[in-house]
Amino acid sequence: MSTLLSTPKTLPFNQPLTLSQSEHCLAITSQVPLRTLSSALIGDGFGSTHCFANFHVDKNYDGRTPVADLRAWLGAQGLPSLSIAMMTAVRLSNASIVSMPLAQREHGVMALVTAGTGNAVDITALHSQDPRLVAGTINVFVFVDAQLTDGALVNTCLSITEAKVQALYKAGIMDTYSGTAATGTSTDCVCVAATQQGTQTPYAGSGTSLGRAIGRAVYQATLNSLACSSEGFV
C-alpha cells in the first residue's frame, strides 16, 4: 500500500490543514500538533498529533493484524508513526468534507466522513447469531478551532454520535438482522482534534453553538458520503 499521495491541498478550516490522497490513503496534516481524542487503533485515547490517516482496505481484508498493518501502511506512505490511523472498505473518493462557522470564524469546525453501511447495526437489538463479517464502517474526523477540556472532547464525541444517528435515520439505513433502524455500523471509528486556541470551553453538546456546529457538519458530511456510496441513498 505504497501508492503516491497527491499534492497537498488546503482544507476549509480556520487553522492550516492540508489533505493528500491516493486510492489507498487519505492523509490530513496540521502545521501544529492538535489535542486529540480517538477510538482509532493507532492513536487511541487522549493525545496530540499533527497527522491523521484513513486507509482503504479491500472488502475481503481479513483483519487479523490491523495494528501491525496500519503501522506498516503509515511507514509505506512516509507518515509519522504517531499519526491517528483508521481503515475502511469504503472508497476514499466517497469522503465528504463539510465546514461550519463558529463564532467569528468562518471555518471553525470541519468534519471529514467516509461512510459505508454494509455492516449497519442497531445497537439496542438482540441477535442470536450476528457475525457482521461484511464490509462497511463510518469513520469520522472532526477538527475544532477551540480550546477544549478533556470533558469537552468527550462531549464532542457524543455530539458526533447524535448527528451520525440522525443522518442514518434520514437516509433510512436499517439493521438487516433486526429490521430496525441502524444506529451505526459494527466498526465505526471517531477522532476529535482541537487547536486549543481561544478561551477554554468545558462544553460541546447540543446546548452550545459549538455542539450544534459539530452536529450540522457531521450530519451533512455523513449524508453526502452515503449519497456517494452504492450502500447509501440518493
Model pTM? 0.94
CA dihedral 71→47→121→159, nearest 10 degrees, is: -150
**Residue 69 falls inside a structural domain:** yes
Backbone angles phi, psi at 206, to 5 degrees: -70, -15
- Compute the distance between CA of residue 76 and CA of residue 92 in angstroms, rounded to an integer: 18
**Residue 171 falls inside a structural domain:** yes
Of the candidates 123, 163, 121, the residue with the CA atom closest to the CA atom of residue 140: 163
Task: Return mean pLDDT, the chain.
Answer: 92
State residue 232's pLDDT score. Answer: 40
Domain with 52, as residue range(s), is 9-228
Check which CATH number belongs to the domain holding 50 and give it: 3.60.70
Average pLDDT score over residue span 164-176: 96
Confidence bin at 231 (pLDDT 50/70/90): very low
**Residue 76 falls inside a structural domain:** yes
**Residue 93 falls inside a structural domain:** yes
Confidence bin at 4 (pLDDT 50/70/90): low
Position of cell 480556520? 14
How confident is the model over 138-156, as pLDDT tens digits? 999 999 999 999 999 999 9
**Residue 153 falls inside a structural domain:** yes
Side-chain half-sphere exposure of 167, counting CA atoms within 13 A:
32
How confident is the model over 182-220, as pLDDT tens digits? 999 999 999 999 999 999 999 999 999 999 999 999 999
- Compute the distance between CA of residue 56 and CA of residue 53 in angstroms, rounded to an integer: 10
**Residue 1 falls inside a structural domain:** no
The helix/strand/coil state of 226 is helix
**Residue 149 falls inside a structural domain:** yes
Of the candidates 105, 204, 124, the residue with the CA atom closest to the CA atom of residue 160: 204
- The residues, any chain, with a CB within 8 Å of residue 42's CB and separated by 6 or more, are 67, 70, 71, 74, 83, 84, 85, 86
**Residue 4 falls inside a structural domain:** no
Is residue 126's pLDDT more than 90?
Answer: no
Number of domains making up the chain: 1
End-to-end CA distance of the chain: 31
